[in-house]
Amino acid sequence: MTGDTMRYSNLAAFVDKGRDVLAKGPIAIIMAEDPVEVESTLLHHLDIGFRAVLMLANPEIDLPASVEDKIHRIDFATHQPEAMMTAVNQLIEAAPGLWFYYGYNAEYLFHPFCESRNIRELLAFHTEERRDALLSYVIDLYADDLDKHPSAVSLEDAMLDKSGYYALGRPDPANHNHPRERQLDFFGGLRWRFEEHIPAARRKIDRIAVFRAKPGLRLRPDFTFSDEEYNTYACPWHHNITTAVVSFRTAKALKSNPGSRYDIHDFKWHNSIKFQWHSQQLMDLGLMEPGQWF
């Protein structure tokens, strides 16, 4: 750690020196792959009630001054293969029992009623339901005018797809590819509409983004966990809460990758609507489930 800025030279240094931070959750892990909307991402996750927010980023990405004294800044090679899995699994080992969220810059976690109830209240309820993980749908956001916003990112003019989402049974290779119980693969958004530009393994939009660490647990490259119960959308007896990660990440990638940049002139279609930055809209669209939490 250097000075008062809570900056660490690598994840091991944070684990060593940040024991106090890892004493109590929930903790948000934000991996900043580039400088886009880093400040708004960090502020959003502070605002919804995380006790600590970690920013993992390459050394050249600056931490905005507005959050310098609130964020734990960790130098990390974010463009290494499976960078997120490497980081999350290291933190799981360091802090069993703690609740974590993981996501990228220009991604914003929403939970039911987040305008009036914070993430700690949600996780207290979810823990009472004997659940150790929360399913998130990653909902693509995109700017309404790509000439005006060539990066496809605009908080003020963000759009999302109001329909076009679907689920398929998740086959279990260990059981003759029969569908896994209470698990589904979810699809939709830009990854579905522009699937020719997305590798097949990256097309699904479900992510177990909020979870409680425990010894031996591992995050896998498809954003599921080694414990299959963590990957279920509900417990056996009723529906559980789900969350949404509204994300510019796919739009940003489609407009920056050479293979797709020149093929896409607009993300809007007849099912595009303006994003209102409110949990009620996501629940009304069926993109988030309050479960038994009224």
Q: What is the pLDDT of residue 254?
A: 95
Helical H segments across 107-257, by residue range: 119-128, 189-193, 249-256
**Alpha-carbon distance 15 to 115, whole Å?**
32
| CA–CA separation, 105 and 61 (whole Å) | 12
Question: pTM score, two decimals?
Answer: 0.94
Task: Indicate the DSSP class of residue 65.
Answer: G
pLDDT score at 1: 44
The reported pLDDT for the residue numbered 291 is 82
Q: What is the pLDDT of residue 2?
A: 42
What does the longest C-alpha to C-alpha distance in the chain come to?
A: 56
Distance CA(148)–CA(156), nearest Å, equals 12
**pLDDT the model gives residue 211:** 97
pLDDT at position 176 is 74
pLDDT at res. 3: 41
Range list for CATH 3.40.50 in the chain: 1-105
Cα(189)–Cα(161) distance, integer angstroms: 6
Give the per-residue pLDDT at 4.
44
pLDDT in tens, the chain (294 residues): 444 458 999 999 999 999 899 999 999 999 999 999 999 999 999 999 999 999 999 999 999 999 989 999 999 999 999 999 999 999 999 999 999 999 999 999 999 999 999 999 999 999 888 899 999 999 999 999 999 999 999 999 999 999 999 988 887 777 777 788 788 889 999 999 999 998 888 899 999 999 999 999 999 999 999 999 999 988 766 678 999 999 999 999 999 988 788 788 899 999 999 999 999 999 999 999 998 876
In the CATH hierarchy, which fold is given to the domain comprising 1-105?
Rossmann fold (3.40.50)
Alpha carbon dihedral 29, 35, 41, 46, in 10-degree steps, equals: 60
Are 99 and 27 in contact by the 8 Å Cβ rule? The answer is yes
Q: Give me the pLDDT at residue 292, please.
A: 81
Dihedral sign, CA of 214, 57, 159, 44?
Answer: positive
